[in-house]
Amino acid sequence: MALEVKRKPRESVQSLVKRFSQKVRQSGILIQARKIRFHEPPKNRLAKKKAALRREQLKEEYKKLEKLGK
């Protein structure tokens, strides 16, 4: 879906850019692009469990090191 903004007679470049950016915002193209770019596939149950266990181990290890003064 391409947006096209033509320059009106005696229109400044700044107002042309402003109209273009306004059309882009209203069309929702940027929102769709960001959703596609930063999409992360869902993790399966096993991967979630492993990540949670790893976080817990790191917390415990950090607490031990904190008690030792390191």
Q: What is the pLDDT of residue 48?
A: 94
Give the residues of the chain that fall short of pLDDT 70.
Answer: 1
Kindly state whether residue 7 falls inside one of the protein's structural domains.
no
Q: Is 55 contained in some domain?
A: yes
Domain membership flag for residue 56: yes
For residue 25, the enclosing domain spans 13-68
Has residue 4 been placed in a domain? Answer: no
Q: What DSSP element (H or E) covers 68? A: helix 45-68
Euclidean distance between CA atoms 21 and 29, whole angstroms: 11
Query: Tell me, what's the pLDDT at 70?
Result: 75
At which residue do the structure tokens 């929702």 appear? 28
Q: If you search the block for the tokens 């042309």, which residue do you land on? A: 16
What's the pLDDT at 1?
A: 64
First to last CA, the chain: 56
What is the domain count for the chain? 1
Place of tokens 């790191």: 58
Inside any domain, residue 59? yes
Averaged confidence pLDDT in the chain: 93
